Amino acid sequence: MLLVFPMGSCFAESRQWQTGTLTVMEQEKVKIGSTTFRHSEGDAKQKRDKTAYSVHQNETKSDDIDTFEVYTVEAHDKTYVAREKLNFLGPSLQESR
């Protein structure tokens, strides 16, 4: 989990997020790239004394997405934002979002 803190001079102030109120919790999807899959298949057919060749190609492209949970905490006069990368979404979480 990555925590972003505003600059403060007092150590007690830097811990306000621990006693603050969680005001927003949301999921964020970030495109990190894409993947291309290629599939080729060839045929050779004999016709009398000649061979006819044919090639069938298929290409599929999909986006690579990272999912983050973003937390916003209100504490006294400051707002803190934390972002956690989710490495796996189980079936129940995928269906509910």
Let me know if residue 53 belongs to a domain: no
Let me know if residue 56 belongs to a domain: no
Let me know if residue 43 belongs to a domain: no
Let me know if residue 45 belongs to a domain: no
Average pLDDT, 10 consecutive residues per value, the chain (97 residues): 52 68 92 93 88 91 93 88 83 52
Q: What is the pTM of this model?
A: 0.54
Let me know if residue 48 belongs to a domain: no
Let me know if residue 22 belongs to a domain: yes
Cα 44 to Cα 49, 58, 68, distances in angstroms: 13, 18, 49
Contact 2, 83 (CB under 8 A): yes
Q: Which domain holds residue 13?
A: 2-34+64-96
What's the number of domains the chain is made of? 1
Let me know if residue 58 belongs to a domain: no
